[in-house]
Structure 1
Amino acid sequence: MAVFGCAGCGAVLTAVVSEVALPIHLADTHWETLHPPLLEAGSYAVDPAPYGPPWRQWDEAGAREAAERGRFAPFGALSNGPSDTILLAPGDMRGTRLILERAGGYCMGIDGRDGPNLACLGCDLPVGTRMDDCGCWQVVRLVPQAVVRLPGPPERPIMDWAELLAAGALWHRLSEYRDIPAGVALAQVVVASGGAPVEAAPGPVAELLGRALGALLPAGEGAKRLDLAGPGFGEPAADLVLVPVHPQTGDMWQPRAGAVPVPMDAALWAELAFPPHRTRLPVVGGLPAGVERDDPLPPHSWYPFQPSKEAFRYTLARTPAVREPWLRAIYDRGC
């Protein structure tokens, strides 16, 4: 576990936080809507990609320079900022103030466009960027050159998959934001398909990705079957399997039966593998006559589920395979 302090004066800047894997659904979406924090309180992650100003457009930088910065197709502005920024939940910050002249945003908060906007109260050194505008996950990015890691308690032990399941560590409420990790998963499936047809297994997988895969990939015989696999769930016969990403290490759960694993956010995977509304019903019988439910039925959308187009394109733009003509054509078409 760690505490981060100011490199200028040594003042403590954060609560005690434990390192976790970088979330795979960093894409911003849901404009005009305030997002929840990207990370849970008491945790931090490191983003190896450059972030922050100065910003450059794709045409200005060129494909070669963009690839060096981890971008393989045009998607927003390119950052010339520092790599390895440290991401935290805003509530874990201590001893900082907002730099008001750098607090620009779209309409509901700060979007980080102006660079570091948090300064150390001890020495006034800019140490990080807070973002909480609509369309942005709420997060603070600490500038790695402006902070130091201070001594902290021992790091939490890495839980194995059985412990994660037993502790309920894979379950989190995604609510209306589940389309973001779904868009990431859709991109990963399309890449893994190699451009071949993909048939989603009936049930949760088809409900989540079936329509989008049908629109993006060709139809025909010899389709690759897509299903779920993972800890406590098993390995159905399939060519491609959606598997969870370990929330602490970022490693994928590995199948043994030879199917190609496709990474998926652990919370979304758990929601599909063990749906709450299907696992909390009595095994036999029902409610007594005259007794009404106090647990609401699962919500049913008025329209078919649609994975996030922004998250889909965000993920593909950061995948070297998008330079292949067949995948670039899908990227340009969107989902």
Structure 2
Amino acid sequence: MTVFVCAGCDAVLSAPVSQVALPVHAHQKWANGVLLPVLMESGTYAVDPVPWGPPRRRWREVGEHEAAARGVFAPVSALSYGAPGAIAVAPGDTRGTVLIPDRCSGYCCGLDGGDGPNLACERCGRPVATRIDDCSLWQVVWFAPDAVRGRAADVPAARPAGWEAAPLRERPGLPPVDQTGQWSPQWEAAAGAGLAHLLAASAGTPVAVPAGLLWDVFGRALDALLPAGAAAGAPAKTLAPAGPGLLVPDPAPDIVLVPRHPWTGEPWQPAGTVRAVPLPAEVWAHLAFPRERLPLPATGGLPDGVLRDDPPPLRPWRPLWPDREIFLDTLARLPAVRQPWLRGIYDRVRDHSYPHLF
């Protein structure tokens, strides 16, 4: 495990934490006026390899070639020129920091990080992190990579990183719908990122999505986006989950949904040349190993006079809308978006004023 310390005075700034994959919803803005929970589990941290936060430069100032060198291949409103490698921790895992009063920008419920680092080292006063806890944003503290350094903590070794150490069939997964019938924001974020990879993998050909939860997540969006650029007369590509603990379908699908390792973030690698679309492990596990309860026992029946007292399976009150901003950000960072058919989809979604195009 790791403890983060101030790069200026070596003061301890965090509890011992172990590294996990960066959540796909790390920079998600969800709904309006909703207080979202903490992004990171206590005792964990994640590193964002992409520059984030101020200073920012508008697309017209940067230009296509410089943007491509920074890993962005389609127009965006602005590019971050902050340092890559920001470190996300739970606010409760920070130590020895104080707020910087003149950097506490936000809207109505808290801090949004718009003024840059708003936490300073309590010992030396060096700006070291940005706390975010405003409504519609996930609550998190981002340590600036150039203001802190990691130090090995005197605690037991971190978990092994192999797939055998993360049996996804036994993990609970993340339920797609809550008790109110609202789709999980994490699922909408995962759907947005996964849809971008799925479109690139389709090569503009229709994709046959199996009925059920998988169609709820991707089918409607693919039907809305692919017809305009689909290859005329081409047979639909097949889609199915693949990963540890799953038997390979016969015949093998053209595109597979694979999990990202919950700790390293690395996608599971399928055999052969099949195209793989990565998903967060907790979402993939729910798709790969459905946990839907049967309305009646699989065999036999209930005794006369006995009524089921458990609640019915949760059902959403509206279709799932893949997160539009995460979809656009993910697609803009895929080199495939430079293909005319896929760039046309990107422009159509980006220019659509109504966020629920799907």
How far does the alpha carbon of each residue in 1:212-249 deviate from its partner, in whole angstroms, 9 at most, with x for none? 11111136441111111122232223100111110112
Q: Which residue does 1:254 correspond to in 2?
A: 269
1:170 and 1:329, CA in 2 relative to 1: closer, same or farther beyond 3 A? farther
Q: Which residue does 2:245 correspond to in 1?
A: 232
Amino acid at match of 1:161: W
TM-score (norm 1): 0.91
Percent of matched pairs sharing the same residue: 52
**Given that residues 6 and 121 in structure 2 are in contact (C-alpha distance below 8 angstroms), is that contact kept between their aligned partners in structure 1?**
yes
**Given that residues 166 and 262 in structure 2 are in contact (C-alpha distance below 8 angstroms), is that contact kept between their aligned partners in structure 1?**
no
- SS class of match (1:243): strand
1:205 and 2:214 correspond: yes
1:136 and 1:74, CA in 2 relative to 1: closer, same or farther beyond 3 A? farther
Structure 1 stretches (4+) deviating beyond 6 angstroms? none
How many Å apart are 1:294 and its aligned residue?
Answer: 4.5
**Given that residues 174 and 267 in structure 1 are in contact (C-alpha distance below 8 angstroms), is that contact kept between their aligned partners in structure 2?**
no
Q: Which residue does 1:158 correspond to in 2?
A: 160
**Given that residues 168 and 244 in structure 2 are in contact (C-alpha distance below 8 angstroms), is that contact kept between their aligned partners in structure 1?**
no
Which segment drifts farther, 51-60 or 217-226?
A: 217-226
Amino acid at match of 1:322: V
Q: 2-side partners of 1:160 and 1:167: how far apart?
A: 15
1:292 and 1:241, CA in 2 relative to 1: closer, same or farther beyond 3 A? same
Q: Which residue does 2:352 correspond to in 1?
A: none
1:206 and 1:44, CA in 2 relative to 1: closer, same or farther beyond 3 A? same
**Given that residues 90 and 141 in structure 2 are in contact (C-alpha distance below 8 angstroms), is that contact kept between their aligned partners in structure 1?**
yes
Q: Which residue does 2:97 correspond to in 1?
A: 96
**Given that residues 54 and 80 in structure 1 are in contact (C-alpha distance below 8 angstroms), is that contact kept between their aligned partners in structure 2?**
yes
How many Å apart are 1:75 and its aligned residue?
Answer: 2.9
1:9 and 2:18 correspond: no
- SS class of match (1:114): coil
1:215 and 2:230 correspond: no
How far does the alpha carbon of each residue in 1:263-317 deviate from its partner, in whole angstroms, 9 at most, with x for none? 1111111121223333898543455444454532222223222212222112111
- SS class of match (1:145): coil
Q: Which residue does 1:245 correspond to in 2?
A: 260
* Unaligned segments of structure 1, at least 5 residues: none
**Given that residues 129 and 142 in structure 1 are in contact (C-alpha distance below 8 angstroms), is that contact kept between their aligned partners in structure 2?**
yes
Q: Which residue does 2:199 correspond to in 1?
A: 190
Q: 1-side partners of 2:15 and 2:44: how far apart?
A: 9
Q: Which residue does 1:145 correspond to in 2?
A: 146
How many Å apart are 1:174 and its aligned residue?
Answer: 5.6
Q: 2-side partners of 1:317 and 1:166: how far apart?
A: 30
Q: 2-side partners of 1:316 and 1:246: how far apart?
A: 21
- SS class of match (1:213): helix
1:217 and 1:42, CA in 2 relative to 1: closer, same or farther beyond 3 A? same
TM-score (norm 2): 0.86
1:271 and 1:94, CA in 2 relative to 1: closer, same or farther beyond 3 A? same
Q: 1-side partners of 2:297 and 2:151: how far apart?
A: 50
Q: 2-side partners of 1:280 and 1:273: how far apart?
A: 20
**Given that residues 205 and 234 in structure 2 are in contact (C-alpha distance below 8 angstroms), is that contact kept between their aligned partners in structure 1?**
no
